[in-house]
Structure 1
Amino acid sequence: MSKSSGDVRIENPLMPAGGWGSLGEVTTILFDQRVPLKDSRLLLKQNKPDGYACVSCAWAKPANPHPFEFCESGAKATAWETTSKSIGADFFQQHTVTELEAWDDHRLEDQGRLTVPLRYDAHTDKYREIAWDTAFAEIGAALRSYEPKKVVFYSSGRASLETSYMYGLFARMYGNNNLPDSSNMCHESTSVGLQKTIGVPVGTVVLDDFEKTDCIFFFGQNVGVNSPRMLHQLQAARKRGVPIITFNPLRERGLVSFTNPQSPLEMLTGHETAISTQYHQVKPGGDTAAVMGLCKAILALDDAARNGGAQRVLDTAFLLEHTQGFEEFEAAVRACEWSDIERESGLWRTDLESAAAVYCKASAVMAIYGMGLTQHRNGVQNVTMMVNLLLLRGNIGKPGAGVCPVRGHSNVQGQRTVGITEKPELAPLDKLKEQFGFEPPREPGMNTVEACEGILANKVQAFIGLGGNFVRAVPERGLMEAAWRELPLTVQIATKLNRNHVIHGKASYILPCLGRIEIDRQAGGPQDVSVEDSTACMHGSRGMAEPAAATLLSEPAIVAGIAKATLAPNPRVDWDRWVADYSTVREAIAETYPEIFHDFNQRMWTRGGFRKPVAAANRVWKTESSKAVFTVPEELKGNPDLSGAPATLRLFTVRSDGQFNTTIYSHDDRFRGVYGSRMVLFMSRADMAKHALAQGDVVALRTAASDGVERRVAGLTIVPYDVPPGCIAGYFPELNGLIPLWHHAKESKVPAAKAIDVILERDRRPS
């Protein structure tokens, strides 16, 4: 049964993740993007040891890959990049920027690949073609006139290790550590939380652990949309009888069932593998309370075992040898009331006790999580609570066990590894000084939230964007877009047109670059690059498609071009040599980070990648006490700084299967049964009845904040869905305008997009 409202069609989704639906989606996007047959064969080289690394998610790349080591999302990303659609200077002669502002995200990017460098002409309100050398000279002259501390160097997660290293060095030679990146918007809570508890900022799990685990806990990560290739590991685990216990507000198709599109038998028979053996729809922001309940139930089971003379449930030997702070944590858990846990988590005590019983029977437990844990006011606390859970039974630093944060973009973790960070203490500044003969800045730089604050306060003079769609991805859209137009200079290095190009600074440049999948021909011959996956393994990536246009430059060449036009010559930094031969960049990386990247050029094509040292995986804890640290949560409340009035609903943002981050491939979401629009609001039937709403009704949302700023999004069509009571869901980035800039995670400053208290209003006006 379906009902339509305007351009929205709503159906009842029944299909599993994968299967014929996935195959159909891949076929459709290859056709829509006019990808030639010869280029569609590139998919056979995606995530292969001698091929190219996927440009979408960062999931691990196996040493022995499947024949088709790509997923629906990865195929869409490849089609999006290798499209035969392109736009040149003639396109911008036909459209003013004001006209393009009215286009939605999908339409902007769907025009195809950018092919020529462009500069905004305020007189005509159009972008006009500019010569590369002229663009570099003008940008360099402007940067030399600005105060270095007032310039921001942002990077998205797609740039290679080589480009990222060059970019970070450029920023520091220019004079600042203003190097925010997309980590600030997603997994900075991971970097902070894991570092202070187990001494590393990344996960401890590798692909082999999936074959050795006997229990998986899954928190706040939509595998079917954000990292579908992981479904192969989850399906294999389920076939071995491994329980998978999921905590997620929505019942996501990829966590319910999966039909493997690479299995002819499953495709022909329609066989589905049930993924989750328990599925707990935790209240958004209720993760700390849920994990507290699990720990409380585990302590009760340990009490019963001890009183009955049975083997202890807690790994007491591990706790004694490897941890500190257990006694304080134990006291906090015992003092916590079940009534508070149930209220804040939205789960029943019996459900949490059932999950805890499975945990206690397993000898090797893995905890997988995504932004559903990190994008909260207490996002760092959520991460440290998950570590507490694992430590109780020694589930870090042994085969089949550990913590597994699922990073989003394809090299966002790697960028941090080679120096993209606003925190000077995390960069080897003394080594850079010795290596390149300059004095690196020692003051902390701006992260994403701080960069936005600086832009709003007119304290930023220039914004350089190495990829991404910053203005669309950040919170506080109403204020940010107005302030963005006052920036003296914006520079965007990009492959496709997006919102960040039509919302621009007073002087604005678009510099089109090669994509990772394209052959990168330089003076030294075709060049390869490298990336890091979610499990901290480094991989080579070789471009294989012909470039979209002969006028494109590579990301390293663009970074070098701006750097040479901006900085005084430095005899120790030969930008031209680096661009001609990327192996020389890798030699420099290896000199800066010898522990991680020794013999980089020789090891970059290792099957399955080579892993950087992760001390906690070997039970070496690089904390102040040299032990893993239990932490006591400050509070159970998941959304402490917005209104909790009875009239509010708790909104959390989600992604569809028709998007990756801010890239919108289509307006459809087949997993949730929504077609034709992304301006929808998912609501339980009980809450619909409470608010006298029917499917297809159109409403508006207003943020429940009393800071004098009006944040409102209208034109949202109601869709009934299985959502926890008092909670609603809508799409990122369409609802980002409802997030106050100050509504971010404590310590990490990750925008709290997964819990926003809002007030619902009837509204039939377009947003």
Structure 2
Amino acid sequence: MARAKDGTIHYAGAEGGWGSMRGMALVAGAERPSADALKTLAKQNKPGGMMCTSCAWTKPAKPHMFEFCENGAKATLWDLTTRRATPEFFAQHTLTELRGWSDHDLEQAGRLTNPMRYDRATDKYLPCTWDEAYRAIGKKLRGYNPKSTIFYASGKASLETSYAWALFARLYGHNNLPDSSNMCHETTSVALKSTIGAPVGTCVLEDFEHCDAIFFFGQNTGTNSPRFIHTLTAARKRGAKIVTFNPIREKGLLEFRNPQSLQMVTGGKTEISHQYYQLKPGSDISAMLGIAKHVLAEEDRRGGVIDRAFIAEHTHGFEEFAEKVRSTSWETIEAETGLPRADLIAAAEVYIQAESAIGIWGMGLTQHVGGYDNVAGVVNLMLLRGNIGRLGAGVSPVRGHSNVQGQRTVGISEKPELVPLDQLSEQYGFQPPRDEGYTTVTGCEAIAKGEINAFLGLGGNFLRAVPDHRVMEKAWTGMGLTVQIATKLNRGHLFCGETAYLLPTLVRSERDVRDGMPQVVTMEDSLSCIHGSIGEAKPASPHLQPELAIVAGIAKAALDPNPNVPWEAWSNDYALVRDAIEATYPDKFKDFNQRLFTPGGFFKGNSARDRNWKTESGKAEFTVPSHLNATGFADADGVYRLMTLRSNDQFNTTVYGYSDRLRGIEGKRDVLLISPREMERAGLKEGQRVALVGDDSDGVDRVVEGLEVLPFNLPEGCVAGYYPELNPLIALGHHDGASKTPAAKSVPVRIRA
């Protein structure tokens, strides 16, 4: 742990380098991975190899010698552990006892090996057969109103499994298909759909080779998508400027030491961000208005700054947006952001001088009550200078889970208007439901009210990832059926409905052989490219089933036979599922089976990239923000804006270890990060234990106790701590207004000493 002059802790090194090597070695030592792990890593993210189960950053056509990052390697080592959670393990522990274990220790029990059913009398999981599980689950589902059930999907499931899962739900009779996008980037999908007519980013990898500037908002590349740093490093070396807005000075956007270069020997490093601005959490709207204000002022002064021809031909709403920009004073913008006018003008000058610019964002924009305005604000900036729909320019959200974007592409959506239901009806001979289904938030609200009979989870750790943990855990056991398809034990598996099954599946790196033929699965990356993936590692147990076979097994038990839906054939030949996907989405998946291992993936297309604006007006939309900050609550004495964070030793709810190296925090997660000035104002001392108390006005008591105060470089008026440990402080009602994405990046809290 290093110390700055003001006493705050930080990491003195660069992202990458020997620190990354040490991080991977620690996980390898803890997991004792199988001999197949090194073979998998050698081919990871390369054509003909296994596509990483960590982030969704794209896979280049010409990969590096080692095309994996620290967190990608950790994910593979974690999957290919030699630890096992066998029936003997479950015989030794009640679920009540296991609830006292940490997230890390639960997953360290190892890979699940057998299908298990919950026995309420003994409070333990007991082994069962696959046929028994399928029959019991199918029987329960046949007795429920389909609309009282939820089929959740995490972002790892392949395109083939996701397509089958979504079809199963609709054949059964509902659109209750929340997924992990609801918890992180749904705001992106909603905002981009309404502003540019396409729900995903417009960039491809080639754009980063031609851009002159990259603007980052609320995205932590070093922890969440480290392979992206290679792309950023190349851009910086050829002269592109990177401007970053983030309340925390994250190492991955400050400097990088390439583990695959001489920098490992010489100690050299590459500066990533040309300018880095620590604004108040939730104030990105005002920061973007400030940049636009200077851009318009320069246009008024000398002309030729904005792209008037593009604006006239391709956009709608410019005058209303320009009026909002001009009428918002610099004093207001400075007060909202905590940044001086000169900083925002300097950022605007970079934008003005760049021929082509790219806007990047992550959950630092999407997870706010005003998240829609955040994302729409990036679109506004790019539209000013025609930076959407040409080489080297565009909007590029960075997604988390490795196939979370692809799941939406093939039908996992609670919004029926986003799915080709008429085509599905013709293809499979049924009438799909047309009513809107549950999102993560509305699904949780329905569970809390006792309105849901069954929850089926295709991977993930839903109960741990959602807001209001204690409310949800209490309500969870009131359901009649809970089914979890999983690879390892997590906290969500310890709360069971009246009937509950835990069904173990293969990981992506393991051999998936059906009828003697190795099977390929596919996924879509953040840049809308589709990649094939094939696993070669020995399965952790002979009793495991592939995800697609499990979905087919449950569907056959729950549904009447349909001659148009060959579940058995699909589960034994994934190429048949890809043929079905191509038939449903011919514009995106033409010649799907022939293009599985295209170097760099094959691009599914993007209408906005072609300047074909599928919006209500037929043009790209400038929008006027309804608020100047996205927090959704007013500042008050003693109320802080809480940001929840992932550590460097974590992917979503999976905690690999207790080293948040890139922030200088080791061996602990029960921490409260706060600036020295705020510590002094609150009368706090380093190392003191405090509680955080939620400040929502809904009458629910929310508190997390035992947090250690650590001085950290943060803007005034905010604090930070780890997800999911601080999720109990987030109210279900605290979410983006348009997408219902939980607002985990600006939660109102008070400190109780």
TM-score w.r.t. structure 2 length? 0.98
Distance, in Å, in 2 between the alignment partners of 1:73 and 1:124 is: 38
Deviation beyond 3 Å, 4+ runs, structure 1: none
- 2:223 is matched with which residue? 225
Q: Distance between the aligned counterparts of 2:452 and 2:616, measured in 1?
A: 36
Residue of structure 1 in register with 2:280 after alignment: 283
The within-5 A match list for 1:585-664 is 585-640=577-632, 642=633, 644-664=635-655
* Structure 2 residue aligned with 1:309: none
Aligned residue in 2 for 1:6: none
Matches within 5 A, 1:199-348: 199-263=197-261, 265-306=262-303, 312-348=304-340
Contact 1:524 1:581 in 2 (8 A): no
Rounded to whole Å, the distance in 2 between the matches of 1:222 and 1:684 is 20
Shift of 1:2: 7.3
1:672 to 660, 663, 677: 663
Tell me which amino acid in the other structure corresponds to 1:639.
T
Q: Distance in 2 between matches of 1:72 and 1:506?
A: 41
Within 5 Å, which residues of 2 pair with 1:67-86? 67-86=65-84
Counterparts of 1:472 and 1:504, CA distance in 2: 13
Q: C-alpha distance in 2, partners of 1:106/1:11?
A: 24
Equivalent in the alignment of 1:94 = 92
Q: Which amino acid aligns with 2:587?
A: E
Q: Which letter does structure 1 place at the counterpart of 2:345? A: E
Structure 2 equivalent of residue 449 of structure 1: 441
Of 680, 703, 711, the match for 2:694: 703
Is 2:648–2:660's contact at 8 Å kept on the other side of the alignment?
A: yes
Letter in 1 for 2:252: G
Please tell me whether the aligned partners of residues 9 and 711 of structure 2 are also in contact (alpha carbons under 8 angstroms): no
Matched to 2:655, the amino acid is I
Could you tell me how far 1:526 is from its partner in structure 2?
A: 1.1
Distance of 1:194 and 1:282 partners within structure 2: 24
Partners of 2:359 and 2:688 in 1: CA distance: 39
- Secondary structure (helix, strand or coil) at the match of 1:596 reads coil
Deviation for aligned residue 1:317:
1.1
2:498 matches 1:500: no
| Aligned match for 1:523, one of 512, 515, 539 | 515
Deviation of 1:41 after TM superposition, in Å, equals 2.7
8 A Cα contact 2:37 2:76, kept in partner: no
Q: Distance in 2 between matches of 1:41 and 1:425?
A: 43
For the residues of structure 2 that align with 1:568 and 1:245, how far apart are their CA atoms? 56
Q: Deviations over 1:192-248 (max 9, x none)?
A: 111111110000111111110011101101000000000000011111121100000
CA RMSD of aligned residues (A): 1.1
CA offsets 1:612-657 (integer angstroms, 9 cap, x no match): 12011121111122211101111113222x3532111111111110
Q: 1:382 to 1:249 in 2, by over 3 A?
A: same
2:704 aligns with 713
Task: Give 3-state SS (helix, strand or coil) of 2:244's partner.
Answer: strand
Corresponding letter in the other structure for 1:295: A
The separation in 2 between residues aligned to 1:365 and 1:716, in whole angstroms, is 41
Cα pair distance change 1:12/1:534, threshold 3 Å: closer
Give the corresponding residue for 1:7: none
Residue pair 2:256, 2:269 contacting (<8 A) in 1 also: yes
**Greater displacement, 498-507 / 731-740:** 498-507
Asked whether the equivalents of residues 71 and 223 of structure 2 are also in contact (C-alpha less than 8 Å), the reply is: yes
Q: What is the CA–CA distance in structure 2 between the aligned matches of 1:315 and 1:258, rounded to whole Å?
A: 35
Measure the CA separation in 2 of the matches of 1:746 and 1:337: 26
Instruction: Please name the residue that 1:352 is paired with.
Output: 344
1:164 aligns with 2:156: no
CA contact (8 A) 2:642 2:747 kept: yes
Distance, in Å, in 1 between the alignment partners of 2:21 and 2:71 is 11
Shift of 1:36: 3.5
Q: Which residue of 2 aligns with 1:582?
A: 574
Distance in 2 of aligned mates of 1:412 and 1:36:
28
Aligned-partner Cα distance in 2 for 1:570–1:361: 60
| Alpha-carbon distance between aligned partners in 2 of 1:56 and 1:354, rounded to the nearest angstrom | 35
Q: CA deviation at 1:31?
A: 2.1
SS in 1 for 2:182: helix
C-alpha separation in 2, matches of 1:301 and 1:503? 59
Contact 2:464 2:492 in 1 (8 A): yes
Q: Distance in 2 between matches of 1:677 and 1:58?
A: 28
- What is the CA–CA distance in structure 2 between the aligned matches of 1:538 and 1:231, rounded to whole Å? 21
- Partner-residue secondary structure (3-state), 1:290: helix
Partner of 2:128: 130
String of CA shifts for 1:141-162, please: whole Å, max 9, x gaps: 0000111000000000000000
* TM-superposed deviation, 1:477: 1.0
Of residues 364, 388, 393 in structure 2, which corresponds to 1:396?
388
Question: After the TM superposition, which residues 13-28 of structure 1 pair with which residues of structure 2 at under 5 Å, given as runs?
Answer: 13-28=11-26
Give the Cα–Cα distance (whole angstroms) in 2 for the partners of residues 643 and 737 of structure 1.
21
Amino-acid identity (%): 56
Q: Which residue among 559, 563, 568 is the counterpart of 2:555?
A: 563
Look up the match of 1:35. Answer: 33
Q: Distance in 2 between matches of 1:436 and 1:368?
A: 39
Q: Which residue of 2 aligns with 1:765?
A: none
Code of the aligned partner of 2:235: A
Q: Which runs of 5+ in 1 are unaligned?
A: 4-9, 307-311, 763-767
Q: Determine helix, strand or coil for the equivalent of 2:520.
A: strand
For residue 38 of structure 1, report the CA deviation from its aligned partner: 4.1
- Encode CA deviations 1:31-50: one digit per residue, 9 max, x unaligned: 21111344223101110011
Report what 1:509 is aligned to: 501
Q: Is the 8 A contact 1:87 1:111 kept in 2?
A: yes
Aligned length: 749
Query: Is 1:643–1:705's contact at 8 Å kept on the other side of the alignment?
Result: no
**Shift, 1:11, TM fit:** 5.9
Question: Does 2:539 match 1:541?
Answer: no
Q: CA deviation at 1:524?
A: 5.2
**Cα separation, 1, equivalents of 2:334 and 2:500:** 52
For residues 483 and 55 of structure 1, the distance between their equivalents in structure 2, rounded to whole angstroms, comes to: 31
Distance across 2 between alignment mates of 1:2 and 1:160: 42
Name structure 2 gaps, 5 residues minimum. none
Q: Once the two structures are superposed, what CA deviation does each residue of 1:307-340 show, in whole Å capped at 9, x if it has no partner?
A: xxxxx11111111111111111111111111122
Partner of 2:745: 754
Picking from 59, 62, 66, the partner of 1:61 is 59
Matches within 5 A, 1:416-427: 416-427=408-419
Asked if the contact 1:284–1:650 (Cα under 8 Å) also holds between the matched residues in 2, the reply is: yes
Segment drifting more, 652-661 vs 35-44: 35-44
Which of 357, 363, 370 is the aligned partner of 2:355? 363
1:690 is matched with which residue? Answer: 681
- Contact 1:46–1:69 (Cα < 8 Å) also in 2: yes
